[in-house]
Amino acid sequence: MSRGRVVRRAHALSRGMVVPTLLADDVRLLVGSPRRWEPLRDARVFLTGGTGFVGRWLLAAFVHANREHALDARVDVLTRDPDAFAHKCPDLASDDAVTLVPGDVRTADAARTTYTHVIHGATPSDADMNERRPHEMLEIIESGTRRMLGLAAHTRARRFLLLSSGAVYEPPAPPGGFAESSPRGALWPIERSAYHAGKRRAEDLTQAAHDAGLSVTVARLFAFVGPHLPLDRHFAIGNFIADALAGRSIQIRGDGSPVRSYLYAADMAIWLWIMLLHEQASGATYNVGSECAISIAETASLVAAESGAKRKVIVLGSRGSGAGDWYVPSTRRARDELGVSESVDLSEAVRRTIAWSREAVALPRENGGS
């Protein structure tokens, strides 16, 4: 990619901005051992979706490990709005090994740069688009995946990692949670969720690229908690933390019976980098999540308990409305084949997320407001 098309470094953009840094325990966890990161030495990575929740953690892991282990690796991060990301995360955007590349995942042209690794995580997840403009969502997912697979093939990348979703599975989950061999759901238009159908289509395209000779891995992501988690979106645990930080009662919109599990974000980032770098992961599909099932009602109570103040939990939905909603993975394959594990339990994960989010809320904004 020509330097004329690469956004200027974010040092000037971030001047005067203050954002929370990651907790020291999280940085130590991300950095890990030199052996884990050695395959990334002198690498050139192309990352899409790097400005979202998952992408920020992938980028944070890269920045800290690259610096600590002197890997001399570089990462180009595709983003539609480099300036906005530089304002939000100046500590990541201004790192010397990070270059923000302006562009859209469907039209990005990086053919003049050789990449050793490609991580494709950019996917629209807007509920309104999924409902009102499903064809647009499908087009973005399919065209973006085709474009990134083509980039990886053209530059002869050693590895390609697709960030897919546990939403590809056909509910309900079997006993023990969804395994990678569990049946997938239907494609569009039988599947009415454009997001679910799009992720299935992206996996099919990636598998076809693997059959044609590209070394790929598919990671099916479930639910997570950690710093940078949006507190005003459709993530129940994020909404509960927002309620707690605002001093409100914690509200459950449904009946609290759906069952989820939450992997801590630092563990998630480590798992994903291992899936990209581990030779045994080539051609494989892995679930990424926690096996520790917990109901939405129990999650709300946990957030209330860990917030440091008594918060009332209010259930707004009618009893039985969420019966049978079980969204939990089996991660046995990843644990057995790649040696990954959950190092932070949910209580500690919630405590860390609340602590970081509380600092983020308290920090002064760019114009001096609080």
The predicted structure's pLDDT at residue 366 = 43
The predicted structure's pLDDT at residue 322 = 61
Flag whether 170 is in a domain.
Answer: yes
> Considering only CA atoms, which of 242, 244, 262, 240 is closest in space to residue 253?
240
Reported as type and span, the H/E element at residue 78 is strand 74-79
The CATH number covering residue 138 comes to 3.40.50.720
Instruction: With a cut of 50, say whether residue 11 has pLDDT above it.
Output: no
pLDDT in tens, 245-257: 999 999 999 999 9
Count: domains in the chain: 1
Q: pTM of the full predicted structure?
A: 0.92
Instruction: With a cut of 70, say whether residue 23 has pLDDT above it.
Output: yes
Domain span at residue 17 reads 3-226+262-291+327-344
pLDDT tier at 10 (50, 70, 90 boundaries)?
A: very low
Flag whether 136 is in a domain.
Answer: yes
Flag whether 62 is in a domain.
Answer: yes
Flag whether 281 is in a domain.
Answer: yes
pLDDT tier at 363 (50, 70, 90 boundaries)?
A: low
Distance of CA 102 to the CA centre of its chain: 20
Flag whether 30 is in a domain.
Answer: yes
**Is the CB of residue 306 less than 8 Å from the CB of residue 245?**
no
Better-scored residue on pLDDT, 20 or 240: 240
Flag whether 357 is in a domain.
Answer: no
pLDDT in tens, 123-168: 887 788 888 999 999 999 999 999 999 999 999 999 999 999 999 9
Query: Residue type at 156?
Result: R
Flag whether 365 is in a domain.
Answer: no
Q: Kindly state the tokens that stand for 310.
A: 């008594």
The predicted structure's pLDDT at residue 17 = 40
Torsion of CA 38, 54, 353, 243, to 10 degrees: 180
Between β-strands 294-295 and 259-260, what pairing exists: parallel, antiparallel or unpaired?
A: antiparallel
Flag whether 172 is in a domain.
Answer: yes
pLDDT tier at 309 (50, 70, 90 boundaries)?
A: confident
pLDDT in tens, 325-352: 999 999 999 999 999 999 999 999 999 9
Between β-strands 263-264 and 224-225, what pairing exists: parallel, antiparallel or unpaired?
A: parallel
The predicted structure's pLDDT at residue 364 = 54
**Is the CB of residue 314 less than 8 Å from the CB of residue 252?**
yes
pLDDT in tens, 69-81: 999 999 999 999 9
The residue written with tokens 């907790």 in the block is 23
